[in-house]
Amino acid sequence: MPTTERLYYQDSHLIEFEALVTDKTDRVSGWTAVTLDRTAFYPTGGGQPSDTGTINGERVLECIDDEENGVLHVIQGRAPEVGASVNGRIDWPRRLDHIQQHTGQHILSQAFVTLFNAPTRGFRVLHDVCEIDVELTNPTNELIERAVELANNVVWEDREITVKTASAEEAAQLPLRKEPSRAGDLRLIEIEGFDLTPCGGTHAYRTGEVGMIAVRTWERAKGLTRIEFAAGTRALADYRRANKTSRAVATLFSASRDDAPKLAARMLDENKDLHRRVRSLEEIAARVEAHDLLAATSLNDAGVKIVTHVFENRDAESLKHVAQALIANPKTIALLGSREGEAARLVFARSTDTSGDMNVMMRAACELLDGRGGGKPDMAQGGGKKVERLGDAIESALSLL
Ligand SMILES: [Zn+2]
């Protein structure tokens, strides 16, 4: 079977074409794939996603490169018959997006080679950003922004981009940015005076069409530097999201957008100070609460005060403070609980001159709460989700004393 003539190789901006259907196959997805004698649809490959569009008005969901049999166009709807003459249309906004990301990648990758001799080892167009994996050994924001600066200058110089074909022997004499991944004649993409690389993708006519290139973030990954970037319309969309986010944060501080980080940092510092202050006040309050609880509790026959109490909305730390303040007094046992939203908490503690295994009591009590807990014979803590059984749990502990 003759393979498909790939019109996108000659013109990346061709969005409408006529062709003949050469083959038709059913897909496992339930849709039908057709092969054409010529196509402007770019199939998934080389890190670039497939084009979408229509064939005779029916949706083309995806195109697949089946090298020997040509390009498969997966059609959602009524597929044309073999031999039919059809009209194909590419979704231009999607193609333009891919042209911008793909050409942007050539430029950014060459910028890393020019400045730092750091080649690109991987490229992916993701849902709303792109990634390149660069052999950059000591990445910093400053180094990466230098490459971004150079890349954008090349974009704004609006350099011409041309496609050439070269034999393997000719190509071997040329300063290609990366090794060809296939044998035979090569398709070379040249950015005037800047970059020359073999590639089968769709590219801009001139670098200006890329618009701009922005790096969102980067990280070290498997010995390489993984750089997340966006070009063209994606860079604008990302700027809009970032601006919306930072303005929303600034509004919370009644500040201008660019002042917000300073104010957020200040508020976090203040928050830490307040936290420390609250903790120290809680210790004072715990001593007062312990005093009141002891005053309201009478001695049992053994001359011990067993203090039981359930608090509202106390975290484990503050419950422990009250328990410690209580058992600082001789002959005292504290069985304390707290309801905190959906969670029940317990702290059991005793002064050293009393007996009873708080750890054993805590384990039994936590079973009733459908939770977990434990500790030492003189101090144990735990909790569970059956808040309504908090009273029963303390009763069960009492019965073990
Ligand atoms: Zn390319």
Beta strands at 224-231 and 305-312: parallel, antiparallel or unpaired: unpaired
Instruction: From residue 205, give the alpha-carbon distance in Å to each of 162, 202, 397.
Output: 7, 10, 80
What are 139-143's contacts with CB under 8 Å, separation 24+?
Answer: 139/218, 139/220, 139/225, 143/115, 143/116
Give the CA diameter of the chain: 104
Residue with tokens 């030492």: 376
Q: How far is the CA of 196 from the centre of ligand 1 (A)?
A: 10
Q: How many angstroms separate the CA atoms of 65 and 211, rounded?
A: 29
Q: Is the dihedral of CA 182, 184, 189, 194 positive or negative?
A: positive
Q: What are the pLDDT digits (tens) for 1-31?
A: 568 999 999 999 999 999 999 999 998 888 9
Cα 379 versus chain centre, distance: 43
Contact 321, 282 (CB under 8 A): yes
Averaged pLDDT, 224-249:
96
Q: Is the dihedral of CA 150, 155, 156, 161 positive or negative?
A: positive
Q: Whole-structure pTM over 0.85, yes or no?
A: no
Sheet of strand 379-384, all strands in order from the earlier edge strand to the far edge: 305-312, 332-340, 343-350, 379-384, 371-376
Instruction: From residue 393, give the alpha-carbon distance in Å to each of 3, 133, 390.
Output: 78, 57, 5
Q: Is the dihedral of CA 255, 260, 262, 264 positive or negative?
A: positive
Q: How far is the CA of 55 from the centre of ligand 1 (A)?
A: 26
pLDDT at 2: 62
Q: Which of 179-193, 200-214, 257-271 has the lowest mean pLDDT?
A: 179-193
pLDDT at 353: 95
Helix, strand, coil % over all residues of the chain, rounded to 5: 40, 30, 30
pLDDT at 379: 96
Averaged pLDDT, 296-304:
92
Is 80 exceeded by the pLDDT of residue 290?
yes
- For residue 102, give the nearest of 12, 41, 5, 6 by alpha carbon: 12
Q: How far is the CA of 239 from the centre of ligand 1 (A)?
A: 25
Structure tokens at 11: 């013109």
Q: How far is the CA of 203 from the centre of ligand 1 (A)?
A: 6
Q: How far is the CA of 398 from the centre of ligand 1 (A)?
A: 76
Share of the chain above pLDDT 90, in %: 84
User: Confidence band (pLDDT; 50, 70, 90) for 173?
Assistant: confident
Structure tokens at 29: 């997805």
Cα 356 versus chain centre, distance: 51
Is 80 exceeded by the pLDDT of residue 181?
no
Q: How far is the CA of 200 from the centre of ligand 1 (A)?
A: 6
pLDDT at 27: 86
- For residue 211, give the nearest of 273, 155, 146, 137 by alpha carbon: 155
User: Confidence band (pLDDT; 50, 70, 90) for 222?
Assistant: confident
3-state secondary structure of 369: coil
Q: How far is the CA of 45 from the centre of ligand 1 (A)?
A: 11
Instruction: From residue 163, give the alpha-carbon distance in Å to each of 6, 160, 172, 206.
Output: 14, 10, 17, 12
- For residue 129, give the nearest of 234, 45, 53 by alpha carbon: 234
Q: How many angstroms separate the CA atoms of 230 and 237, rounded?
A: 9
Q: How far is the CA of 157 from the centre of ligand 1 (A)?
A: 19
pLDDT at 1: 54
Query: What value does the mean pLDDT of the chain take?
Result: 94
Q: How far is the CA of 125 from the centre of ligand 1 (A)?
A: 12
Q: What are the pLDDT digits (tens) for 75-116?
A: 998 999 999 999 999 999 999 999 999 999 999 999 999 999
Is 90 exceeded by the pLDDT of residue 174?
no
Residue with tokens 């079973």: 367
Averaged pLDDT, 270-283:
92
Q: How many CB atoms lie within 10 A of CB 391?
A: 12
3-state secondary structure of 29: coil
Q: How far is the CA of 59 from the centre of ligand 1 (A)?
A: 26
